[in-house]
């Protein structure tokens, strides 16, 4: 018999979330971002539920090749571009769109022997200071790319570090507008937060990621609670043991939790080896038998202990939701000092996955 933990992927929710993103994007075309194995959901499990998208954005060539070999004909964008000169042979074979963020990539394109030009996303550094050309370098990079026979359509691409607020986009958007002045090319600027909340950033293509999977780009579920987004991943398990504690009894490694009175504790088949955060403190929300309660003590490799006080009927075999439709992944992440993105991506290979 297998452990009772299981992750369920709701493809109907994924399709609904794509529809919400498309409505928010207005007339802009839409890249569905499926990097990091579709944010831990499994790109091979979910891509068909996103077929109504205009293109897929990802990082790994292996994932791009998988989509092509499964029959995806529409655009695929390599968000970090290519990493070596020889990668261009693969981009050419599979007709991939690539970001270009460095001069060496322009030089590599100039040297490459391609069967046809590649479409390019020219990446500008709008102030996040990860990848991209500085604003004053954008025109020169664009002119170099435009002169190359190996380059097809050029789209200006940028990213926002703080698109959760109006203040967060004002300065980078000004930089982008100044850098793009006089350039005759499409633009792709908007991530999930900008797609939802800043229509002035939408332009030709938007790039939603986390909202496709039903979590908030701000890390606060209430920010998206009214717009129809639904969690795609639900992580469930069962109570596999019950302990009756007396006053003063402690729970788990380090004895971090001490009972103040008599208390029943349930032991759940889930731990950090399954992808649940080890740092999740006492008080992190969890649902047992349909009742909201909390974890207590330290998360172990294979087990979590939970307070059964609010659900006295619960016992061995009782259903547990770690995150999903009732326990929001954003709330678990916030309690744990992280974001829902990390929890999704951390789902361990040993957890069985059911697609519905």
Enumerate the domain spans of the chain: 11-214, 233-355
Quote the pLDDT of residue 167: 85
Quote the pLDDT of residue 234: 98
Query: Is 301 labelled as part of a ligand binding site?
Result: yes
pLDDT classification of 84: cutoffs 50, 70, 90: very high
Distance CA 212, CA 19 (A): 9
Say which CATH architecture domain 233-355 belongs to: Beta Barrel (2.40)
Residue 35 annotated among the catalytic residues of the structure:
yes
- pLDDT, one tens digit per residue, over 128-137 is 899 999 999 9
pLDDT classification of 151: cutoffs 50, 70, 90: very high
3-state secondary structure the chain: CCCCCEEEECHHHHHHHHHHHHHHHCCCEEEEECHHHHHCCCHHHHHHHHCCCCEEEECCHHHHHHHHHCCCCCCEEECCCCCCCCHHHHHHHHCCEEEECCHHHHHHHHHCCCCCCEEEEEEECCCCCCCCECHHHHHHHHHHHHCCCCEEEEEEECCCCCCCCHHHHHHHHHHHHHHHCCCCCCEEEECHHHHHHCHHHCCCEECCCHHHHCCCCCCCHHHCCCCCCCCCEEEEEEEEEEEEECCCCEECHHHCEECCCCEEEEEEECCHHHCCCCCCCCCCEEEECCEEEEECCCCCCCEEEEECCCCCCCCCCCEEEEECCCCCHHHHHHHCCCCHHHHHHCCCCCCCEEEC
Per annotation, catalytic residue among 74, 123, 253, 341:
253
- pLDDT, one tens digit per residue, over 208-217 is 999 999 999 9
CB 264 within 8 A of CB 309: yes
Average of pLDDT values for 228-237?
97
Residue 144 annotated among the catalytic residues of the structure:
no
Can you name the CATH fold of 11-214? TIM Barrel (3.20.20)
User: Is the pLDDT confidence value at 1 over 70?
Assistant: no
Average of pLDDT values for 91-109?
98
Average of pLDDT values for 264-285?
98
Query: Is 350 labelled as part of a ligand binding site?
Result: no
Average of pLDDT values for 101-129?
97
Per annotation, catalytic residue among 35, 257, 276, 328:
35
Quote the pLDDT of residue 168: 87
Residue 97 tokens read as 């769109």
Average of pLDDT values for 100-108?
98
pLDDT: which is higher, 304 or 167: 304
Quote the pLDDT of residue 225: 87
């Amino acid at each position: 018999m297998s452990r009772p933990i299981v992750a369920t992927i709701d493809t109907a929710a994924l399709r609904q979330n794509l529809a919400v993103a498309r409505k928010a994007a207005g007339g802009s075309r839409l890249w569905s971002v499926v990097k990091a194995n579709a944010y831990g959901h499994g790109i091979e499990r979910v891509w068909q539920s996103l077929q109504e998208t205009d293109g897929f954005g990802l990082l790994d060539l292996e994932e791009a090749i998988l989509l092509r070999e499964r029959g995806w004909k529409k655009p695929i964008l390599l968000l970090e571009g290519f990493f070596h000169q020889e990668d261009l042979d693969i981009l050419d074979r599979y007709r991939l769109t690539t970001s270009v963020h460095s001069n060496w990539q322009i030089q590599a394109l100039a040297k490459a022997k391609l069967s046809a030009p590649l479409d390019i996303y020219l990446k500008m550094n709008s102030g996040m200071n990860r990848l991209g050309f500085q604003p004053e370098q954008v025109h020169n990079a664009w002119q170099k790319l435009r002169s190359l026979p190996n380059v097809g359509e050029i789209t200006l691409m940028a990213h926002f570090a703080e698109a959760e607020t109006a203040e967060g986009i004002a300065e980078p958007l000004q930089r982008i507008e100044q850098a793009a002045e006089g350039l005759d090319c499409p633009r792709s600027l908007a991530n999930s937060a900008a797609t939802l909340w800043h229509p002035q950033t939408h332009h030709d293509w938007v790039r939603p990621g986390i909202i496709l999977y039903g979590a908030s780009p701000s890390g606060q579920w209430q920010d998206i609670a009214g717009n129809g987004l639904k969690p795609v991943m639900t992580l469930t398990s069962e109570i596999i043991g019950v302990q009756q504690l007396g006053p003063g009894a402690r729970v788990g490694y380090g004895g971090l939790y001490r009972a103040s009175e008599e208390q029943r504790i349930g032991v759940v088949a889930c731990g950090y080896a399954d992808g649940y955060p080890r740092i999740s403190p006492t008080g992190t929300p969890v649902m047992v038998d349909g009742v909201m309660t909390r974890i207590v003590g330290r998360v172990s490799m294979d087990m979590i202990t939970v307070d059964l006080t609010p659900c006295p009927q619960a016992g061995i075999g009782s259903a547990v939701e770690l995150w999903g439709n009732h326990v929001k992944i954003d709330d678990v992440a916030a309690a744990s000092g992280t974001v829902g993105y990390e929890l999704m991506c951390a789902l361990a290979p040993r957890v069985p996955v059911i697609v519905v």
